[in-house]
């Protein structure tokens, strides 16, 4: 079961919730009780923040599969 991360646009309160994928997203903020909660896409957001992982993969690929066509900026 995935953990979903929510954030309230009203008070910026962030919280996580264990939910089944079929459950409806939470809308009401538990803190300020305003209906201003948005669900942050867990996996997607994580991916963006872990940009370094991306870089490493990219680097590996580059090393294995030859020339730098794409990035002449290397070095
Ligand atoms: Zn709130």
For the stretch 2-52, pLDDT in tens is: 788 899 999 999 999 888 878 888 899 999 999 999 988 755 444 444 445
* CATH number where 25 lies: 2.20.28
How far apart are the C-alpha atoms of 50 and 57, rounded to whole Å? 12
Residue 69 confidence (pLDDT) = 67
The answer to whether position 75 is within a domain reads no
Distance (Å) from CA 16 to ligand 1 centroid: 13
Distance (Å) from CA 40 to ligand 1 centroid: 14
The answer to whether position 38 is within a domain reads yes
The answer to whether position 73 is within a domain reads no
Distance (Å) from CA 46 to ligand 1 centroid: 22
Residue 13 confidence (pLDDT) = 97
The answer to whether position 72 is within a domain reads no
Distance (Å) from CA 7 to ligand 1 centroid: 8
How far apart are the C-alpha atoms of 11 and 34, rounded to whole Å? 9
HEC per residue, the chain: CCEEEEEECCCCCEEEEECCCCCCCCCCCCCCCCCCEEEECHHHHHHHHCHHHHHHHHHHHHHHCCCCCCCCCCC
Distance (Å) from CA 43 to ligand 1 centroid: 23
Instruction: Give the domain range for residue 45.
Output: 3-64
Counting the structural domains of the chain, the total is 1
The answer to whether position 70 is within a domain reads no
Residue 31 confidence (pLDDT) = 97
């Amino acid at each position: 079961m995935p953990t979903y991360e929510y954030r309230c646009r009203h008070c910026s309160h962030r919280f996580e919730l264990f939910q089944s994928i079929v459950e409806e997203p939470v809308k009401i903020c538990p803190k300020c009780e305003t209906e201003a909660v948005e669900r942050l896409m867990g996996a997607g957001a994580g991916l963006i923040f872990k940009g370094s992982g991306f870089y490493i993969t990219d680097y590996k690929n580059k090393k294995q599969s030859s020339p730098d066509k794409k990035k002449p900026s290397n070095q």
